[in-house]
Structure 1
Amino acid sequence: MAFINWIEEPALRRPVMILAMAGWNDASSVASTSVRFLIDRWQAKKFAEIDPEEFFSFTRIRPQVRLDENEGRIIVWPETGFYYHVDPLLDRDFVLLIGIEPSFKWRTFSEAIVQVCQEAHISSVLSLGGLAAQVPHTLAARVTGSTSDPDLAAQFPDLAVRRSRYEGPTGIVGVLSDMLNRAGIPTGSLWGNVPHYISASPNPKVAHGLLTRLNGMFGLGLDLDDMARSGRRFERQVNEALAQNPEVAQYVKQLEQAQADGEATEPLPEAPPESSEPSDLPRGEDVVRHLEEFLRQQRSKPGDADPEGQGD
């Protein structure tokens, strides 16, 4: 296919693809943060990419100007990149796909990804996502997994066999999963549940939850201490912001109690990002603005060192 730029064609052992697409299915960037972490930690090598020219509105998703080591200008275009990681200590290899939900030609875009999967002999595809949910930020991040393939569920018990009950608009992850299944490539998904009252991005605590689940599923042996520290720092900053908003602080306590009582509702993964917000949340948009402004101020403080060395 003309849209695929091949850099190399690696020989891989029963590779599993782990993918993240920024956009509709990536609340608080938890999926793309997780895959970027894997690419960086593994120093994964790019072997293919999809040319963005046919698929993106560059007035909506603009290319970026960067400076190289000689301070020369480089134009960085929206990426849909395929990376691979080989570790002889693991029983399989991994392909990592990082991209952005395209503006145009979703079917053609998905067909290009399916073709890469076929030529790389991908054994299964695991998509990561983030969804807004009625969960408190104070408890361990909730991660839900699903697949419609019984064999994949037997291989990875973290993936419950379930058929989606959702009807309505979908994102590129839903379209791509459908096309992969039609091509005979089994798919599963892991969804990090993001507190719907915090839209700040990224959310390292939920990203840590996704990475922890991947660590257990595949026996990756990843050191996630840095991500855990970032998650704890993020939680402290949110707590400071909520201390100035008693109504929302009380609402968070209600969410904690609902989860303790087993009354928490499980969101539908493909549902629109705004569909999880309950009507009793006080002035939700104002709360989000207040939290985001507070978190921006915290990040911009000069010399804002991580206080982890002083204890959690």
Structure 2
Amino acid sequence: MTLVSTNLDDPSLQGLGMYVSLRGVSDAGHAHDLVSNELFGHLSSELYARFDADELVVYTAQRPRVSFLGDHFAGYQEPRIEIYLMTDALDRKFWFLTGVEPDLRWERTIAELLNFIDAFNVQLVSGTVSLPMPVPHTRPVGVTAHGNRKDLTENISTWSPTAETPSGLMALLEIRLNDAGRDVVGYSLHTPHYLAESEYPAVAVAALEHVGAALKLALPTEKLREAGRLIESQLAEQIEGNNEVKQMVLGFEKRFDEHAQEHERRSLLLDEDENMPNAEELGASVEDFLATIDNSTDWLNANRNTGGADSPSGDPEQ
């Protein structure tokens, strides 16, 4: 891993959270791309470190994209694996590890990540993946929560199986972080398998909601919600005209509802009495969080009415 920023000694970078989203074999609904586009499109970002993707990616396994323009090739999209410093809508910073999932040298990659996490005393690492599942799109996106922070995983899951599955880098990273005594949580989101190859904004919204709650960040979701409502409307029209698909979805709904009745869930957005905090409580929560950061009181007084992130930057993966 190569550090590319010159601001490595900034004390404000100590103790932040890290969000991990990598495009791998399990990226149903194009969740990674949707999340990355939303974050880079609405939040300020600064590149801090990059991995040598040429050493980590098997190009024949996940071929990079290139454009053919009638009589020549252009726009080669080289694979990237990078760490950005991002700033949310409330001016809170966090690390974002993004790009393609490495095919090779997982242990070396994770060892370098652990060095980065130790150097910056990252307080919590939270990752998301999206899995194709036999679930209906007409119900809330399901999730399997995992990690070593019970307060961020207990009673969150809609499905908690015991199974042996092919690993991803995030799964191994979770194990190594736990071994190192570092806090880590992950959220495996359930995308309807019949929409796995299409863009499914609802799963990206769920990813950002879970990570935002875990890392205490205000992450953008409005554009994704708008896109999700449009897709839901289109799906309703298409399904209504196809009885076979309609019956399949009804079957998924029946099984989903039966299972949901057996498993009471907790939302990270609800308080201990299962109430949604009001605007004043949310504001107080934000101020309490900022008060734990050195010099944050002065920052809050100076910036209470400025609101918002810097000018949005483009997605580096496009």
- Fold match, TM over 0.5? yes
CA 1:62/1:131 → structure 2, altered by over 3 Å: closer, same or farther? closer
**Map of 2:131 onto structure 1:** 131
Q: Is it true that 1:194 corresponds to 2:194 in the alignment?
A: no
**Map of 1:142 onto structure 2:** 142
Shift of 1:5: 4.3
Q: Is it true that 1:208 corresponds to 2:205 in the alignment?
A: yes
CA 1:214/1:171 → structure 2, altered by over 3 Å: closer, same or farther? closer
Q: Relative to structure 2, which stretch is displaced further, 215-224 or 230-239?
A: 215-224
**Map of 1:290 onto structure 2:** none
Aligned pairs for 1:102-181 within 5 A = 102-147=102-147, 149=148, 152-154=149-151, 165-181=162-178
**Map of 1:56 onto structure 2:** 57
CA 1:36/1:144 → structure 2, altered by over 3 Å: closer, same or farther? farther
Q: Secondary structure at the match of 2:249?
A: helix
CA 1:6/1:121 → structure 2, altered by over 3 Å: closer, same or farther? farther
**For residues 223 and 5 of structure 1, what CA distance do their matches in structure 2 show?**
27
Shift of 1:155: 6.5
- Does the CA contact (< 8 Å) of 2:153 and 2:185 recur in 1? no
**Map of 1:21 onto structure 2:** 22
**Map of 2:48 onto structure 1:** 47
Shift of 1:22: 0.9
- Does the CA contact (< 8 Å) of 1:9 and 1:120 recur in 2? no
Count of paired positions: 255
**Map of 1:98 onto structure 2:** 98
Q: Secondary structure at the match of 1:44?
A: strand
CA 1:9/1:144 → structure 2, altered by over 3 Å: closer, same or farther? farther
**For residues 178 and 166 of structure 1, what CA distance do their matches in structure 2 show?**
16
**Map of 1:301 onto structure 2:** none
Q: Secondary structure at the match of 2:172?
A: helix
**For residues 260 and 34 of structure 1, what CA distance do their matches in structure 2 show?**
28
| Structure 2: gaps (5+ residues) | 68-73, 264-318
Shift of 1:77: 1.8
**Map of 1:302 onto structure 2:** none
CA 1:86/1:208 → structure 2, altered by over 3 Å: closer, same or farther? closer
Shift of 1:230: 0.5
Counterpart code for 2:27: D
Shift of 1:250: 0.7
Shift of 1:107: 1.8
Q: Name which structure has the greater RCO, CA cutoff 8 Å, separation 6+.
A: 2
CA 1:53/1:222 → structure 2, altered by over 3 Å: closer, same or farther? closer
**Map of 2:2 onto structure 1:** 4
| Structure 1: gaps (5+ residues) | 67-72, 267-312
Shift of 1:88: 9.8
CA 1:5/1:62 → structure 2, altered by over 3 Å: closer, same or farther? farther
**For residues 213 and 15 of structure 1, what CA distance do their matches in structure 2 show?**
17
Shift of 1:205: 1.4
Q: Relative to structure 2, which stretch is displaced further, 43-52 or 26-35?
A: 26-35
**For residues 89 and 226 of structure 2, what CA distance do their matches in structure 1 show?**
29
Q: Secondary structure at the match of 1:262?
A: helix
Counterpart code for 1:192: L
Shift of 1:262: 3.1
Counterpart code for 1:44: S
**For residues 99 and 244 of structure 1, what CA distance do their matches in structure 2 show?**
39
**For residues 158 and 111 of structure 1, what CA distance do their matches in structure 2 show?**
31
**For residues 136 and 55 of structure 2, what CA distance do their matches in structure 1 show?**
40
- Does the CA contact (< 8 Å) of 2:17 and 2:215 recur in 1? no
**For residues 8 and 156 of structure 1, what CA distance do their matches in structure 2 show?**
36
Q: Secondary structure at the match of 1:189?
A: strand
